[in-house]
Structure 1
Amino acid sequence: MNFIRVGAACPVTKVADIHYNIENIKKCIEESLAKHCKIVVFPELSITSYTCGDLFTQNHLIEQSIKAIEELAQFSKDKDILIALGAPLVHKYSLYNCAYILHKGRVLGILPKNFIPNYTEFYEKRWFTEGNALSEESIDLYFQKEIPFGSNLIFSDGINKIAFEICEDLWVTIPPSSFLSLGGANIICNLSASNELVSKYEYRRNLVASQSARCMAAYIYSSSGVFESTTDLVFSGHLMISENGSMLKENHRFQRENEVICSIIDIDKLNSERLKNVSFRDSTKIYNYNVREIKFSFDDLNYGEFDRYVDKHPFVPSGEKQREERCKEIFNIQSAALAKRISHTGLNKAVIGISGGLDSTLALLVIIKTFDMLKIPRKNILTITMPGFGTTDRTYNNAVSLCKALDTTFKEINIVDACLQHFKDINHPIENHDITYENVQARERTQILMDIANKEGGLLIGTGDLSELALGWCTYNGDHMSMYSVNCSIPKTLVRYLVNYVAEHEMEKEASDILLDILDTPVSPELLPKDKNGDIVQKTEDIVGPYELHDFFLYYFIRQGATLEKIAFLAKVAFKNEYDDATIDKWLDKFVKRFFTQQFKRSALPDGPKVGTISLSPRGDWRMPSDASYNLWVK
């Protein structure tokens, strides 16, 4: 499934004490191997230390650093790990600040620093030369000949394509890693020596995360530690591993021991992002950057225990503050979208069916916010509840109470008699509680709502969510249809948090209490008769499976194009304490079959706003033939 564990290391060092430094580097390599890392990145000039100053002009320091590279290459001879070390190099009477890339006893390549800082606290041009003009050269060291030398090297084992830049390279207008990623690199490593100043930490962190997102790559960053000279500067040993904008692992700075952090990178995820991003492909044509690919191979890619964090609810931020901010943002996007549609149509009325369930509740709350924003009276919101054969007292009472608490124009239309007449018209036995029995009710409700919208000169607002669309859990030409759908790209797992956010932050107590009870009600279409106690008998998740699983499946299937094998694997990691393997396999199979067979409903969706990374709109993100076969995806 193309996972690889990578590491960033910061060894304890002494300035200019090469023998001391490489002993700690060896310890960090051993620790990286013990943690199953296949790549480990050390800081800039880690062999000598970064703060040697004019000692870099001493031949002895330079010669000893090359001997240290030989020693470390020999040390790596039986070790299946790619090692990136920093050391100086003299080439054609110029001194270069370089990254040496070692694997199993050999120096695979040497990369010079492209951009040499020479401002504020940095004066590297006193010693070092820029390497950005070097591309097709090779170097002979006394222990190995014809070593590729240049800033355009990519080291490839087939699927993992690894490139390197050094410190300042990341801080320039167009970092070399931008071009290297267009050349195919999906893992970028940075050997750095970035000093600490007030607030520089946050800026550096944002640089790493944003560059990994811009390049759609993993980014491994290792900076010099606290044992560098403090004559004028302090270094913190900042270590980071980021993947496509997400910070997977980061250390606590200012450590005084050898330190290695590691994380598992999902290469398939990165490659999938690039495959879908047309702008990335176009950039590879415009910026025709010449790279040299250095082939090598790992013996295996065993990553040890799979300890990568897998979020059970990828659509829902885990942090409370972030979740609150996300809900506010989504609620504003929904309201802005509806406001535009209302302004464009010139209609100042809205019609919505209210069931007492979560989806219609969220849609009503969006209408309320929109009308308040447009200064349209809430009485222009026509809320219709339409009890049928399965409507329970709890949902009915919540629907009635909420509409009145929000000061809408409320109307109740019982659909039982109309449905009984329709059963008679189509010769359908009333005791036959099949799909026709259920769909008649859904279509009757939609017919009523559409006709009232015409009669009143209003806009019928749809309530269906993203999860229902993915599963096709809606009646074609029934609750599937509306004049504008505000929930169409919001998954079920997020709907609950949005309603809760509005209840806590945007409602008076009376309405808030009703919303909290709606949140506590089981999800149901209420199309089958209630039991003898008047309770819900038709619980959606008993029929189609847990929505939290289906939302998880949807995210990885659409967002990452993951195989079912990988989706199942990740789901079993994320939900190991909630569902057994057989349950996950069962509902994944159900998800795939329903997703394929129900595309025809998504092909006829009404308009609605995209609010997150996934939308199933046939006019936007997802264009799929309605008659595609699922046979390739199921066992």
Structure 2
Amino acid sequence: MGRKVTVATCSLNQWALDFEGNLQRILRSIEIARNKGAKYRLGPELEICGYGCWDHFFESDTILHSYQVLAQLLMSPVTQNIICDVGMPVMHRNVRYNCRVIFLNGKILLIRPKMVLANSGNYQEMRWFAPWNKRRPRWAPSFGPQEIVPFGDIVLATRDTCIGTEICEELWMPHSPHIDMGLDGVEVFTNSSGSHHVLRKAHARVELVNLATLKNGGVYLLANQKGCDGDRLYYDGCSMISLNGATIAQGTQFSLDDVEVLTGTIDLEDIRSFRTEISASKVIPYNRVKVDFSLSCHDDFLVPPSEPFQWHFHSLGEEISLGPACWLWDYLRRSQQAGFFLPLSGGVDSSASACIVYSMCRQVCHAVSNGSKWWGAPGVSPKQVCLVTL
């Protein structure tokens, strides 16, 4: 059996309640991951329905349509022979949870609910979801040929490695789940996020992810939402893969592409040798779901491992220019308008607005010239963008 593993994480521009468009972008990301040789694909938080559904999470139709999208994913030939990790709301025993659903070849392997909810500032997750606070797993009803599936804080054990899941806010906690998971032998950590753009926030995310793998080794995949999702916030992508404290794959922070997939190839022996100096600690063993599947392949000698590199950050001025400009483009598409009416008074406010709109136009033209596609996204075509100034 080989020891080199290729994994994929992605940033998707998902729209709240755009179930058909969200499905097409998820399928496209899985297809790209497979074509790059990945055996595990991770997506952003609540990617099936969109993160910014707000009080639509209270509606049973939101969960129903999420299950309908999941059913199409399970039946799609695109999702065969690759472990897929998708996010959606799940109702379990009349309680609503923010969950990851992990499946392989049409079978749900486990459902992992979020344990620490973001509930300050711009986030109100406690309004719509309950945190999972039970150590022992439960069994949740499923559909199709499966009657029940494992539900809870569980890790996935393949033939060659072990995979553990975190969801967004859990990475920011003082005692993150990856600490105990790593001490219990988990080698691959995943985190699906809906993290919005704040100046210099990318620095904190990158530092937290690299520190997570520096402390006890392992590979860490971070997937983040991108776009405005129909809300006032802008999610800036910036997905990444870290190995033993160093970045091996970096996603763009400001991009108009709806689908961006990162892959990294790692040698499991690098993780195991890195951990030889880490002393064992007493931890409560995690419940494991065993799956007869291997992330590595026999001809892995043909695939070179990904090399670490220094993360490139935008300057403060670039963040101010690019972030609001990307938000404007998404807002324009969602409103299905042909352009902006831009009054100019000559003051600082109107001048700054004009510069941001100009930045948006430059990014759109650059994206079109590079052949970017807006997968499953209704609204205006990039070629229809026009500005009316007064």
Contact kept? 1:100, 1:110, Cα under 8 Å = yes
Structure (1/2) with the larger strand percentage: 2
Q: Distance in 2 between matches of 1:16 and 1:78?
A: 22
Letter in 1 for 2:292: F
Contact kept? 1:180, 1:291, Cα under 8 Å = no
Contact kept? 1:240, 1:249, Cα under 8 Å = yes
- Percent identity between the aligned chains? 25
Superposed displacement of residue 310, structure 1: 5.2
Q: Residue 187 in 1 paired to residue 184 in 2? A: no
Superposed displacement of residue 247, structure 1: 0.3
Distance of aligned partners of 1:303 and 1:11 in 2 relative to their CA distance in 1, 3 Å threshold: farther
Superposed displacement of residue 66, structure 1: 1.1
Superposed displacement of residue 304, structure 1: 9.3
Match for residue 162 of structure 2? 161
Contact kept? 1:241, 1:249, Cα under 8 Å = yes
The higher-RCO structure (CA 8 Å, 6+ apart) is 2
Q: Unaligned 5+ residue runs, structure 1?
A: 312-316, 320-635
Superposed displacement of residue 251, structure 1: 1.0
Deviations 1:298-348 (A, max 9, x none): 38626696243458xxxxx999xxxxxxxxxxxxxxxxxxxxxxxxxxxxx
1:234-383 → structure 2 map (5 Å cutoff) = 234-257=234-257, 258-274=259-275, 276-279=276-279, 281=280, 283=281, 286-298=282-294, 301=297, 306-309=303-306
1:429-440 → structure 2 map (5 Å cutoff) = none
Match for residue 440 of structure 1? none
Match for residue 495 of structure 1? none
Contact kept? 2:184, 2:285, Cα under 8 Å = yes
Match for residue 63 of structure 2? 62
Superposed displacement of residue 202, structure 1: 0.0
Superposed displacement of residue 291, structure 1: 2.4
Q: Distance in 2 between matches of 1:120 and 1:318?
A: 31
Answer with 75-84 or 179-188: which moved more.
Answer: 75-84
Contact kept? 1:167, 1:190, Cα under 8 Å = yes
Q: Distance in 2 between matches of 1:76 and 1:227?
A: 30
SS at match of 2:98: strand
Letter in 2 for 1:149: F
Q: Distance in 2 between matches of 1:310 and 1:53?
A: 40
Match for residue 152 of structure 2? 150
Q: Which one has a bigger Cα radius of gyration?
A: 1
Superposed displacement of residue 228, structure 1: 1.8
Superposed displacement of residue 188, structure 1: 0.4
Contact kept? 2:139, 2:148, Cα under 8 Å = yes
Q: Residue 90 in 1 paired to residue 87 in 2? A: no
Q: Distance in 2 between matches of 1:318 and 1:97?
A: 33
Question: TM-score, normalising length from structure 2?
Answer: 0.74
Match for residue 626 of structure 1? none
Letter in 2 for 1:125: M
Match for residue 540 of structure 1? none
Structure (1/2) with the larger helix percentage: 1
Contact kept? 1:264, 1:307, Cα under 8 Å = yes
Contact kept? 1:218, 1:243, Cα under 8 Å = yes
Distance of aligned partners of 1:238 and 1:179 in 2 relative to their CA distance in 1, 3 Å threshold: same
How many residues get paired? 307
Distance of aligned partners of 1:310 and 1:56 in 2 relative to their CA distance in 1, 3 Å threshold: closer
Q: Distance in 1 between matches of 2:295 and 2:196?
A: 37
Distance of aligned partners of 1:254 and 1:96 in 2 relative to their CA distance in 1, 3 Å threshold: same
SS at match of 2:66: helix
Deviations 1:382-410 (A, max 9, x none): xxxxxxxxxxxxxxxxxxxxxxxxxxxxx
Match for residue 52 of structure 1? 53
Q: Unaligned 5+ residue runs, structure 2?
A: 312-390
Letter in 1 for 2:198: L
Q: Distance in 1 between matches of 2:178 and 2:251?
A: 23
Contact kept? 1:264, 1:303, Cα under 8 Å = no
RMSD: 2.1
Distance of aligned partners of 1:68 and 1:134 in 2 relative to their CA distance in 1, 3 Å threshold: farther
Superposed displacement of residue 43, structure 1: 0.1
Distance of aligned partners of 1:78 and 1:250 in 2 relative to their CA distance in 1, 3 Å threshold: closer
Q: Distance in 2 between matches of 1:305 and 1:42?
A: 27
Question: TM-score, normalising length from structure 1?
Answer: 0.46
Superposed displacement of residue 15, structure 1: 1.4
